[in-house]
Every structure is written in structure tokens, then in C-alpha cells.
Amino acid sequence: MDEMEDADEVFVVKRTHFTTKPLEVRLRTDLFSAIMDAAERRGIPYQMLVQTWLREKVMQETPDLARQHS
């Protein structure tokens, strides 16, 4: 990376804000601990990790329905 040239381009990042709704789910303590550990390894909040996993699974299982809500 030391040999790479600096870029002069400016990139604009636009975040899309989606409405959210709280969800209460009861989990076994060992599963919750595993989720917490996985999130910590990635350096992200556990809620973000769970949301990512749920989104991936919904896209996998019902891509037609997931596209309607994205």
C-alpha cells in the first residue's frame, strides 16, 4: 500500500435510513453468548450482527418477498 498513489476523487456516501421496529426474542443463554462472542470478533454490536444474519436468511429463503420490502 505504501507504493499506491493517493486518489484525488471524492466519494459521497449516502446512507439509506429504514424504519425499524423492535422485536423481542427469547434465546437460550448459550446461543446468546455465542452471538455476543461472534459480534465481538467482528467488532460490531450484536444487534447489527443478528439483523445481518436475519436479512441474509430472508433473502435466501424468500427472495421474492425480501425484494418487495427493500
48 within 8 A of 39, measured Cβ to Cβ? yes
Q: How confident is the model at residue 63 (pLDDT cuts 50, 70, 90)?
A: confident
- Work out the number of other CB atoms within 10 angstroms of the CB of residue 6: 4
pLDDT for residue 2: 74
pLDDT tens across 11-23, in order?
888 877 778 899 9
- Residue-wise pLDDT for 38-60, tens only, equals 999 999 999 999 999 999 999 99
pLDDT in the model for residue 4: 81
Nearest-angstrom CA–CA distance, 54 and 67: 14
Higher-confidence residue of 7 and 25: namely 25
Contact between 38 and 49 (Cβ < 8 Å)? yes
